[in-house]
Structure 1
Amino acid sequence: MTGKTVIDGRFELRDRLGSGGMGTVWRAFDLALQREVALKEVRLAETDMARLDAEVVRMMRERVMREARALARIDHPNVVTIHHIVDSPDTPHPWLVMELVRGRSLQERLSAGPMSPAEGAALGRGVLAALRAAHEAGICHRDVKPANVLLRADGTPVLTDFGIAVLEDASRVTATGGLVGSPEYIAPERLHGEEGNPASDLWSFGMLMYVAVEGAHPLRRPTTAATLAAVMTAPI
């Protein structure tokens, strides 16, 4: 393979692992330590970036860096580990260098069917422990869902994608005014504009656990608008 991209003169991009409106995650190789890592570009969608003025972009970048540093101080087996932060004038947006969790996502696991009660209990203990550690550090995840939980080879859950959560305030100043998160996992109070409440993560966690053991989401509807309406008004 020719024309390999190397970030910060050290991290060689290999494969794209996933992407969304808030960034892209890559499998990369650390040329200094000779090991594989995960590299995340933390950015808003290009269309949104074009609408933001320089001051908002600067504030967004600083918010990302501040929370990434806080997350990097968390040493917990159920929270993805951040090894390094790349933030320099040569890069248009920050990069987070994280551990590469070898395994599949909870979403992929659930595509094969719901979990047994014992398997679900182990999952729940791990994800709840991760959220407690994050909340104690002053971090709200805002996007707890099966796709953001990775399962190690031994089944241990690891909560990932904290990096995109910190961009919520910045994204709300864009012309789209969209919410960060998946509609069926967003807590009702967030739809009413209340942010920064750790309890919102616990709502999402409850929905995740229901899906894990029942195999279906109780509030998912055929359209996004109908799903959001169900989250706000449907009987639980």
Structure 2
Amino acid sequence: MQPLTTADPRSVDRYRVLGRLGAGGMGRVLLALAPDGGLVAVKLVHQQFADDDRFRRRFRTEVAAACSVDGAWTAAVVDAGPAAPVPWLATAYVPGPTLDSAVRRFGPLGEDVVLGLAAGLTAALREIHRAGLIHRDLKPGNVLLAADGPRVIDFGITRAVEESRGVTATGFVIGSPGFAAPEHVQGRELTIAADVFSLGATLFFAATGREPFREASTAATLFRLVHGEADLQLLPSRLRAVIGACLAKEPEQRPTTERLLGLIGVQPARGAWLPQPLRDLIRRQGADAAALRAAAHPPRPTLIAPVPSPRRRSPRRGLWTGAAVALALVTGTAGVALTGVPGGLGRTTAEATTGTTTPGATTTPPVADERPVTRPSLEQMTVPMGLIGTWSGTVVPDGSGGTPQAIRITLVDGAHGERVGRLTTTRTGCTVDLVLRSVRVGRITVEPDGDDCGTGTSTVLELRDGQVRHRSSDPLWEGTLRRVPG
């Protein structure tokens, strides 16, 4: 983490900038605070690209595809500004060093660690390719080592930069040329097999601390990459077959990601998969980011009384009539309650702070054993941007003993108590509007505004690695939803 410079913006669109994460050939990366209190990494492209119409057109297309990538092994794209004066891309913030910096600081990774890394990166490429993208610049600097596994970053932007620079005409290669596929260096048409070659070169570096085709000059490195071979004898035995297959010179000779996962033969890394020094570094990075977030977004202590079951709502749709919500606005040692009452009456924020009361309004004291807890203020309780869009998937009833049900949920921007989405069950065609009940970082709770289509009276939707985890109550339905492109 680096402090901001005078040249760095203090905000990018709706995101408040907290620090600088790094910079590269495409732009700079900033740590920023999202409106929902979460942390994101915002990449601002260099001004030269902002002035290029070709870049903007391709950037818009590539980002739209990147938003649909399963984020289990990538830093999920959550927002973008392709039409902004300086285009930007926001991804989920993942504490952890790049593979490049980790190896240069701590040395090569062990054989078992590299195998787990290989499985995770291969799974990431599989999902990137399913979205119709080619990464085009996979290298150690575009791999993050997180506490719970590796992440691929910077997909969905490289092609826009290449076309802006006229790469296909000049043979120019972005980033470190020693990790590009031979056909990329030669200016030939790229397929997803180019990413597999780059994966092999990246894994070679992880296992040995050396670039597989490195020579004294860039020209010599590129010549060896196209015409020479990597020294596979430097690799541990279990990695030779995997990396050797990836580094085949001709694209059609390289394995697909599915076949490569079979060759690797292990599951992607999870849990405490890294050596202790790296785990300590990740922990420190996470703590530093959390401290910046806390300083920029201090908690507001409130008292929240329980919200009655949605089945006890008034017949009036779209209003939380009958719900009792006590909000203590703490100023020094004094506290004032703001309470919603039947009929939609209640004290406004201004009335609460001045001590005046709306005629006919009543107050409901908090439950006796209720303790102060941290909650977002009402004006902050809006749908997180990463959740906005259409999601579909299959949910399974309690205990997996019933018939699974395919659902489709569309979420829009909206505030606490408003209709923010619609759920449709594709089997029965039942459709119900969804009302926003509560918000946490990357997670919302919604209620059906009317008949619940049998899919639960209260549903938690949580953005997790580019997908939405669905869990409802009364009855319980669980499942994972994927973003619907477009």
Instruction: Please tell me the TM-score bracket, short chain as reference.
Output: 0.7 to 0.9
1:126 and 2:120 equivalent?
yes
Pair member with larger Rg? 2
Distance 1:105 1:192, change over 3 A: same
Show the counterpart of 2:70: 75
Question: Size of the alignment, in residue pairs?
Answer: 223
Alignment of 1:137-152 (within 5 A): 137-152=131-146
Distance 1:173 1:235, change over 3 A: closer
TM-score normalised to structure 1 length: 0.86
Show the counterpart of 1:11: 15
1:37 and 2:40 equivalent?
yes
Kindly indicate whether the alpha-carbon contact (under 8 Å) linking 1:171 and 1:177 is maintained by their aligned counterparts in 2: no
Look up the equivalent residue of 1:128 and give its one-letter code: T
Give the secondary-structure state (helix, strand or coil) at the position aligned to 2:151: strand
Deviates more, 1:208-217 or 1:119-128: 208-217
Distance 1:175 1:134, change over 3 A: closer
Aligned-residue identity in percent:
37
Q: For 1:53-77, what per-residue CA distance to the aligned partner results, in whole angstroms no more than 9, with x for missing partners?
A: x7xx223202111111111111231
Aligned match for 2:85, one of 89, 92, 97 = 92
Shift of residue 7, structure 1, vs aligned partner: 1.7
Show the counterpart of 2:97: 104
Counterpart CA distance in 1 for 2:130 and 2:167 is: 28
Q: Which has the higher strand share?
A: 2
Aligned match for 1:20, one of 15, 18, 24 = 24
Counterpart CA distance in 1 for 2:180 and 2:110 is: 25
Instruction: Give unmatched runs, 5+ long, in structure 1.
Output: none
Instruction: Give unmatched runs, 5+ long, in structure 2.
Output: 231-486
TM-score normalised to structure 2 length: 0.43
Counterpart CA distance in 2 for 1:85 and 1:18 is: 18
Q: For 1:25-84, what per-residue CA distance to the aligned partner results, in whole angstroms no more than 9, with x for missing partners?
A: 111112x212221101134x63xx59xxx7xx2232021111111111112310111111
Q: For 1:80-119, what per-residue CA distance to the aligned partner results, in whole angstroms no more than 9, with x for missing partners?
A: 111111244xx32321111001111111221212111111
Q: Which has the higher helix share?
A: 1
Alignment of 1:73-222 (within 5 A): 73-88=68-83, 91-111=84-104, 112-154=106-148, 156-166=149-159, 167-172=161-166, 178-222=172-216
CA RMSD of aligned residues (A): 2.5
Kindly indicate whether the alpha-carbon contact (under 8 Å) linking 1:171 and 1:179 is maintained by their aligned counterparts in 2: no
Kindly indicate whether the alpha-carbon contact (under 8 Å) linking 1:25 and 1:39 is maintained by their aligned counterparts in 2: yes
Kindly indicate whether the alpha-carbon contact (under 8 Å) linking 1:27 and 1:39 is maintained by their aligned counterparts in 2: yes
Distance 1:25 1:68, change over 3 A: same
Look up the equivalent residue of 1:210 and give its one-letter code: F
Distance 1:37 1:235, change over 3 A: closer
Q: For 1:202-221, what per-residue CA distance to the aligned partner results, in whole angstroms no more than 9, with x for missing partners?
A: 11101111111122223101
Counterpart CA distance in 2 for 1:174 and 1:115 is: 35
